[in-house]
Amino acid sequence: MNLTTYSTDPAGLQAFYEAIISAHDTYAPVEKFGKFDFTRVDSLSTCNTDSPIPKTMSVKPLFFPKSAKVMKYKATSEGTELTDTEEDPLAGKRVVLGVRHCDARSLQVLDAVYKWDYVDTDYGKRRENTILISTRCNEASTHCFCTSLDYDVEQLDAFDVAVINGLDEKVYLQARTEKGETFLKENATGLAVANGSAQEEMKKQFEKFASSFRLKMDYTEINEKMQGQFDSPEFEDVSSNCVSCNTCAFVCPTCHCFKISDEKLRDEGVRYKSYDSCNNVYFTLMAGGHNPRPVKYRRWRQRAMHKFVYYKERFGVNLCIGCGKCTTSCPVNISIFEVVNKVAK
């Protein structure tokens, strides 16, 4: 597989984006109530392809929406009638602009669970029909720690095209998958194949970006030490100011728990699949009333252990991608980075 790198200037990148928007079904971060959401766009002026990580909701809803119809049902005298819902609005061919590397990585992590014992065909179709164009950050945000986790941020192949704003005022577009290579070839009008110095320039940009991180840790150490910490008293301490809402899980790009609920009227209804969270007290409530996680620290323990121990054991990757969205969105700013580092001490 031979992957090409193209180069252009910032104005060329804008033209490239505009051409994509006019030719394809395009999604990009659009500002709503002071935060950015991935929404379908018709022109570049309505979106911000460089939206800051802490203020941008993850790309997860485009693949795993906050609420999706599963089926319709109707009870008749002959029995129960089940029908598929109307066509999946997210299944068509589309391009997503302005995804961050960490956000794209989350989809790679989620693929493991969605292709596991039950293959989620809706998710698979949405993934297959999407071209991800990901912009590399120039600077880390306060809660970012992606470079401290188990993936190579510089050479990541979780998206199809990487957009890198070089320090030499040039913009480099690099295909990272075969899908991206073909896409760039078809849409490369106005882009030139980059010359020899491109690799060096991209490396320089990455080094500058990598040196801007406030948070650094050794994930192997965390993975190892967390294993024996199930009974750690630290969990009680770190969760003491948690308010038990579901925000961290709902904004998390990798959290994938869901619940099934019905919207029904008499004999017919629609079944929905919606987000759920282990921080919710009802999450483990069983028929009969027993709840194995009735207190906050047990729910927090599940959250931290699932991200850094259980998922790693089962699928070989961490369930945290270090974007810091949970910390920024948390009403009391509980930092998953601080939690795991305190527990793994």
Partner 1 sequence: MNYTKQIQDIAGRLFSEEKIDVFIGYRNTGFDENQVPVLINQYKDVDQLLFTDKSVFNLANYLKYEHTRNKRVGLVVKGCDSRALNLMLTENQVKREKLFIVGIACEGVVDETGGKAQNCVECVMPDAVVFDEMLGTPSGKRDYQENSDIRALDGKSLTGRQEYFEEVFENCIRCNACRHSCPLCYCSNCCIDQETATLYHGANTTSSAFHALMTWSLHLAGRCVDCRNCEKACPSHLPLHLLHKQNEKVIYENFQEHLAGMIQDDRGAFYKYSLSDPDDFIM
Residues that bind partner 1 (CB under 8 A): 32-35, 37, 57, 66-67, 142-143, 214, 240-241, 243-247, 249-251, 259, 261-265, 272, 274-275, 277, 280, 282, 295-296, 329, 331-335, 338
Q: How far apart are CA 268 and CA 72, in angstroms?
A: 8
Half-sphere exposure of 307 (CA within 13 A, CB side): 24
Q: Which is nearer to partner 1, 24 or 271 (CB)?
A: 271
Longest dimension (CA), the chain: 73
Burial class (CB in 10 A: 0-12, 13-18, 19+), 43: exposed
Minimal distance, residue 223 CB to partner 1, in Å: 23
With respect to partner 1, which residue has the nearer C-beta, 6 or 272? 272
Dihedral over Cα of 286, 292, 297, 300: its sign:
negative
Least distance to partner 1 from the beta carbon of 109, Å? Answer: 21
Q: Which is nearer to partner 1, 157 or 268 (CB)?
A: 268
Instruction: For residue 277, give every residue at least 6 positions away whose Cβ sits within 8 Å of its Cβ, in sequence order, or none.
Output: 246, 248, 249, 250, 255, 257, 283
Q: How far is the CB of 51 from partner 1 (least distance, A)?
A: 14
* Least Cβ distance, residue 153 to partner 1 (angstroms): 21
Nearer to partner 1, 80 or 240 (CB): 240
> Roughly how many angstroms between the first and final C-alpha of the chain, as a whole number?
44
Which residue, 171 or 215, has its beta carbon nearer to partner 1? 215
Determine contact, residues 179/110, Cβ cutoff 8 Å.
Answer: no
Q: Which of 12, 269 has the CB closer to partner 1?
A: 269
| Shortest CB 254 distance to partner 1, Å | 16
- 29 DSSP β-pair partners: 38
Q: Which residue has the tokens 């991608």?
A: 321
Helices (H), the chain: 10-23, 101-114, 121-128, 178-187, 198-210, 219-226, 234-238, 247-251, 296-305, 311-315, 325-329, 336-343
Nearer to partner 1, 15 or 245 (CB): 245
Give one DSSP letter per residue of 92-132, joined into a string: S-EEEEEEEHHHHHHHHHHHHHHTSSS--HHHHHHHHTEEE
Q: How far is the CB of 266 from partner 1 (least distance, A)?
A: 10
